Chains A and B, each alone.
Chain A
Amino acid sequence: MNKYYSWLILAALIIVVAILPKPLVISPTASVIVTILLGIALVWVLVLTIRGHLIGRRVVFLFIGASLTLPFFMNFEMPIKVSPEVKILYDALAKLPPGSKVLAAFDYDPPSAPELQPQADAFMAYAFKHDLKVIIMGLWPQGPQQANMSIDKVLQYPEIRAKNPKYGVDYVNLGFQSGNEFVIQRMGSSFRGMFPRDIYNTDYDKIPLLNGVENFSNIDFVFNLSSGYPGTVEWVQIAVDRYGVKVGAGNTAVQAPSVYPYLSSRKLTGLAGGMSGAWQFEQATQQPGKASTYVLPQTFSHTVVIAFIIIGNAALMVSYRRSKRGEA
């Protein structure tokens, strides 16, 4: 009997998915109702638990699945508070006049892409929109490829397509250079020495954007996306400490705490940390992107986990009270 049930549910699901409109978006009112229903369901689980019916792990899984899936269809905006460290980053970028030259160092590889790619997209979109000239490089071999993926994506945005940024004039990708922090150090005397050719093998001197770009003194801002070594720490220690250029960074959530000290000593001009840093950056630059679609599911799933911790503790309290009553 049980077997048939699961097949029936599966069949029903397939039919529902097939007849659903694509893309599926539910109205703000309906979204609020779904959220409230989810909340009521959690309260119901709490009540059940207090009454002594412990729920199984599958119920937890169901709630996690629902809290990660449903928000994708919801059409209401979660107000996002931009943290001070992202605000500093945004302010520094906003101060740059059009035509400013920004060095973007992509120091990460695909495993960190879920967290850093949205930041990269938001940064590239912002730069193109505000006519900042972007010079891309990587201390990690796969960094420049990640940059290209981001550019390909951003160029699809209508407003940016209208601006039609040109390679070599509005942006350039210098590629990867091995040597870790020594690359930064030697860029202090000459960019050309470290990157004689760009990623497409064009000579440094034949690229219009790089005309007159000799070292850090010709760069207005450095934006570093980093997930480890070499990365933000090295950029701060060399580019900021020795050459006095401003550096802002986007980091993975795991790495962010290790660069907080630089933020408080004002060596680092702004920091976007992990997924939340990404959506705050999108919020600050007012261009919702991939990270912003993750805000709701992330918040929902987090709330659900916290709710279940509370439910678990409620169950514990109840069992305490029971055992005490038993003793008396």
Chain B
Amino acid sequence: MLALLRIAKSIVFISSLLFVISILPTHSVYSRDTSPSSSDLGPITVRAFDTDNDAGGSITVEWDDPGYERLSGFAGFLVWRTNTLTGTSDSVEVTPFGTRTYDDRSVSDDSTYSYSVAALVNGERLMSTPSMQVRSSKQWFDGRLTWVLILGLIICGAVIYFIESAKRGTKLFLRRIAGLEAIDEAVGRATEMGRPILFVAGIQDMDDVQTIAGLTILGSIARTVAEYDTKINMPVRASLVMTAARETIKHAYVTAGRPDAYNDDMVHYVTDEQFGFVAAVDGIMVRERPAACFFLGAFFAESLIMAETGNSIGAIQVAGTAMPAQLPFFVAACDYTLIGEELFAASAYLSGEPRQLGSLKGADVGKAIAMIVILVGVIATTIASAWNSESMLWIENLLRQMFSTG
């Protein structure tokens, strides 16, 4: 019964489609050759196969056009599908000009299908012979990401290797970062002046790695704060960050041996609204006059509003963000800025833990690879284009393939 209904529906659909096609104008944007007649043309060959690298439920259909598209009455290709288990057929799509493939996403992995493609010419359907039977399936690995996997494994492997070797006691050299001494200096100054510290961990929630990086730096700062008994004020824009920041500061106070001095209200939620949060932070700055302001995390347009207000009250300001668009404002208005990657590196530096420092060494391997690839790529292209070198061309193409991400 259901099948009958389907067939009826298909008939209605096709006939309405044909009606539409019959009233289509006959010209198109493509210039046409002197019209050959459709009988001169060979058959359309159709291939259907499971779409690769997906979660199933999709079959790709491809066909060759022996020249129908250049006929004057051509209106498109009709993709026609037959479910070989139930025996039902339906039309799936009329494709636009210039298209030779169609991705049918309305199939079930439990059925098998066969496809035909018809050229629609002057209201006629010139049907191809059906394709082989095909069944869609799920894949366990996205083949397009092979190079991502390989390069990712190399870099992760490097990070883990250096972490392990640091654990075993190998001495690793890392240069110092200018902004980091400033952090201690700022905390020291706040202590001397008896004024509080303001800490803002960006305005994103816990689903941003920058927020987490900001919180780990907070961990180190809070330890110093706890030791010197400086006051810290941390307004937050997201409640989850509030919970995480409280854990972080509490841990620092416990480590410093002063759990009684910890108070939940050091970290307080204000509002989820970006500019409402800024209004409140600005208010806190001009009223409490913190001696040091830290802006470490993900920031947007509010970066400069906060940094300029902080500047006007004469606070030492240390900022760090991996938002490329906001870096200029922090660089212009703050005393020290951790630029991009330095934000992520800072917590490792501050912890002083060898394992953490090892992970930075691993990231350096990544940078070395990036530089080598860029330079090799450029040299290879230059030689390939200047001397027509086959091997250099091969290198060039390999690099292109490696780093194309879809």
Chain A residues with a Cβ under 8 A of chain B: 57, 185-186, 188-190, 192-193, 212, 214-218, 242-245
| CA A70 to CA B30, docked complex, whole Å | 56
Number of interface residues of B (CB under 8 A): 14
A-chain residues with CB within 8 Å of residue B27 when the two chains form the complex: 217
Q: Is the CB of A192 within 8 A of B20?
A: yes
Provide the B6-41 mask, 1 if CB < 8 A to any CB of A, else 0. Answer: 000000000000001000110111100000000000
A-chain residues with CB within 8 Å of residue B24 when the two chains form the complex: 214
Identify which of residues 50-106 in chain B touch chain A, using a CB-to-CB cut-off of 8 Å.
76, 94-98
Contacts A57-B312, A192-B20; is A186 near B25 (CB within 8 Å)? no
| CA A37 to CA B207, docked complex, whole Å | 53
A-chain residues with CB within 8 Å of residue B312 when the two chains form the complex: 57
| CA A189 to CA B20, docked complex, whole Å | 12
A-chain residues with CB within 8 Å of residue B76 when the two chains form the complex: 189
B-chain residues with CB within 8 Å of residue A189 when the two chains form the complex: 76, 94-97
B-chain residues with CB within 8 Å of residue A243 when the two chains form the complex: 29, 97
B-chain residues with CB within 8 Å of residue A244 when the two chains form the complex: 29-30
| CA A245 to CA B25, docked complex, whole Å | 17
Q: Is the CB of B20 within 8 A of A217?
A: no
Q: List 14 A-B contacts (CB under 8 A).
A: A57-B312, A186-B96, A188-B96, A189-B95, A189-B97, A190-B20, A192-B20, A193-B94, A214-B24, A215-B28, A217-B27, A242-B97, A242-B98, A244-B29
B-chain residues with CB within 8 Å of residue A215 when the two chains form the complex: 28-29
| CA A216 to CA B94, docked complex, whole Å | 16
| CA A242 to CA B99, docked complex, whole Å | 10
| CA A217 to CA B30, docked complex, whole Å | 9
| CA A212 to CA B25, docked complex, whole Å | 8
Closest 10 pairs (CB-CB, A-B): A189-B96, A188-B96, A217-B29, A244-B29, A243-B29, A189-B76, A217-B28, A242-B98, A214-B24, A214-B25
| CA A190 to CA B78, docked complex, whole Å | 14
Residue of A185, A188, A192, A216 with most chain B CB atoms under a 10 A cut-off = A188
| CA A214 to CA B95, docked complex, whole Å | 14
CB distance from A245 to the nearest CB of B (A): 7
Q: Is the CB of A188 within 8 A of B97?
A: yes
- Residue of B with least CB distance to A217: B29
| CA A65 to CA B309, docked complex, whole Å | 18
Residue of B24, B27, B29, B97 with most chain A CB atoms under a 10 A cut-off = B29
CB distance from B4 to the nearest CB of A (A): 27
| CA A71 to CA B111, docked complex, whole Å | 71
CB distance from A254 to the nearest CB of B (A): 9
CB distance from B114 to the nearest CB of A (A): 24
CB distance from B106 to the nearest CB of A (A): 15
Q: Is the CB of B96 within 8 A of A185?
A: yes
| CA A218 to CA B25, docked complex, whole Å | 10
Identify which of residues 91-144 in chain B touch chain A, using a CB-to-CB cut-off of 8 Å.
94-98
- Which of B20, B25, B29, B95 sits near A216, CB closer than 8 Å? B29
- Residue of A with least CB distance to B28: A217
| CA A185 to CA B24, docked complex, whole Å | 18
Residue of A192, A214, A245 with most chain B CB atoms under a 10 A cut-off = A214
Besides A192-B20, A245-B29, 4 more A-B contacts (Cβ < 8 Å) are: A189-B94, A190-B20, A215-B28, A215-B29
- Residue of A with least CB distance to B93: A186
- Residue of A with least CB distance to B24: A214
| CA A51 to CA B284, docked complex, whole Å | 36
CB distance from B375 to the nearest CB of A (A): 25
| CA A192 to CA B24, docked complex, whole Å | 11
CB distance from B136 to the nearest CB of A (A): 20
- Residue of A with least CB distance to B95: A189
- Residue of B with least CB distance to A186: B96
| CA A75 to CA B24, docked complex, whole Å | 55
A-chain residues with CB within 8 Å of residue B97 when the two chains form the complex: 188-189, 242-243
CB distance from A253 to the nearest CB of B (A): 13
| CA A57 to CA B24, docked complex, whole Å | 67
| CA A190 to CA B16, docked complex, whole Å | 14
Residue of A189, A192, A193, A244 with most chain B CB atoms under a 10 A cut-off = A189
| CA A212 to CA B27, docked complex, whole Å | 12
B-chain residues with CB within 8 Å of residue A190 when the two chains form the complex: 20, 94
- Residue of B with least CB distance to A187: B96
| CA A243 to CA B31, docked complex, whole Å | 11
B-chain residues with CB within 8 Å of residue A193 when the two chains form the complex: 94
| CA A243 to CA B312, docked complex, whole Å | 57
- Residue of A with least CB distance to B94: A189
- Residue of B with least CB distance to A185: B96
| CA A216 to CA B97, docked complex, whole Å | 11
A-chain residues with CB within 8 Å of residue B28 when the two chains form the complex: 215, 217
| CA A242 to CA B312, docked complex, whole Å | 56
| CA A214 to CA B98, docked complex, whole Å | 16
| CA A189 to CA B25, docked complex, whole Å | 12
| CA A193 to CA B93, docked complex, whole Å | 11
| CA A215 to CA B95, docked complex, whole Å | 13
A-chain residues with CB within 8 Å of residue B29 when the two chains form the complex: 215-217, 243-245
A-chain residues with CB within 8 Å of residue B98 when the two chains form the complex: 188, 242
B-chain residues with CB within 8 Å of residue A242 when the two chains form the complex: 97-98
| CA A186 to CA B95, docked complex, whole Å | 8
B-chain residues with CB within 8 Å of residue A188 when the two chains form the complex: 96-98
| CA A244 to CA B31, docked complex, whole Å | 11
| CA A245 to CA B29, docked complex, whole Å | 8
| CA A213 to CA B39, docked complex, whole Å | 30
| CA A189 to CA B96, docked complex, whole Å | 5
Provide the B291-314 mask, 1 if CB < 8 A to any CB of A, else 0. Answer: 000000000000000000000100
B-chain residues with CB within 8 Å of residue A218 when the two chains form the complex: 25
CB distance from B204 to the nearest CB of A (A): 18
CB distance from B307 to the nearest CB of A (A): 13
CB distance from B275 to the nearest CB of A (A): 13
| CA A186 to CA B76, docked complex, whole Å | 11
